[in-house]
């Protein structure tokens, strides 16, 4: 087709894809701790009440300046507005499907379930502590692992003193569950 008959647009296509780093298996519930729910809700509230209105105001001001084709404030503002709207849609969907599970209600239980803080020891005697959280709360640097991760799936329903086998990226591993505790976490 001749290029003279095609429409060219500088606008980026708007993709409504969910954010890939936090995908849930099909049909799986979106478990989340109260602290994680509060953080997601806080982010959504900030985007709706502070961030989005400020960007809309900037875009409106930039649009009133005339030529939009070379107006950096307008172009950047529209792009930022799309990013904010995409994140708002994502957070809204996540919060609608969220099932809040309070780990503090499991206090005294020695079996591993969602929200547990588990200390494990590997074959070399090295101990590590993990907290089993929702997919939107994972933070490996703090030891927070998703309940759908291979390690968490292997730990679920185990008890203190049990030996658990799981497939890690380095190959099959065996660890022993040392302690299981449940505690509330305040939103950061």
- Give residue limits of the domains in the chain: 30-100, 103-182
pLDDT score recorded for residue 186: 60
The pLDDT tens digits for 24-41 are 777 788 899 999 999 999
The pLDDT of residue 106 is above 60: yes
Q: Is 134 left (phi over 0), alpha (psi -120 to 50) or beta?
A: beta
Classified by CATH at the fold level, domain 30-100 comes out as: Helix Hairpins (1.10.287)
Distance, CA of 151 to CA of 126 (rounded, Å):
16
Residues 6+ apart with CB under 8 A from 180: 109, 110, 111, 112, 116, 117, 118, 159, 160
Q: Which residue has the higher pLDDT, 103 or 8?
A: 103
The pair of three-digit structure tokens given for residue 167, joined into one six-digit string: 């497939």
9-18, 74-83, 124-133, 140-149: least confident range: 9-18
Q: Indicate whether this model's pTM tops 0.95.
A: no
Assign domain 103-182 one CATH number from 2.40.160.10, 3.30.70.141, 3.10.50.30, 1.10.10.10: 3.10.50.30
Half-sphere exposure of 126 (CA within 13 A, CB side): 4
């Amino acid at each position: 087709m001749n290029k003279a008959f095609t429409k060219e647009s500088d606008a980026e296509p708007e993709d409504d894809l969910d954010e890939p780093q936090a995908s849930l298996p099909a049909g799986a519930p979106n478990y989340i701790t109260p602290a994680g729910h509060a953080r997601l809700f806080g982010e959504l509230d900030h985007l709706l009440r502070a961030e989005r209105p400020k960007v809309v105001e900037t875009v409106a001001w930039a649009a009133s300046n005339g030529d939009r084709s070379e107006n950096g404030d307008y172009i950047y503002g529209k792009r930022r507005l799309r990013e904010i709207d995409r994140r708002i849609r994502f957070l809204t969907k996540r919060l609608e499907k969220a099932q809040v599970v309070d780990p503090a209600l499991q206090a005294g239980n020695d079996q591993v379930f969602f929200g547990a803080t588990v200390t494990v020891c590997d074959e070399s005697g090295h101990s590590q502590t993990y907290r089993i959280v929702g997919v939107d709360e994972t933070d490996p640097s703090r030891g927070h692992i998703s309940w759908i991760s291979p390690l968490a799936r292997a730990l679920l329903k185990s008890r203190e003193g049990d030996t658990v086998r799981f497939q890690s990226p380095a190959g099959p591993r065996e660890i022993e569950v040392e302690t299981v505790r449940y505690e509330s976490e305040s939103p950061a």
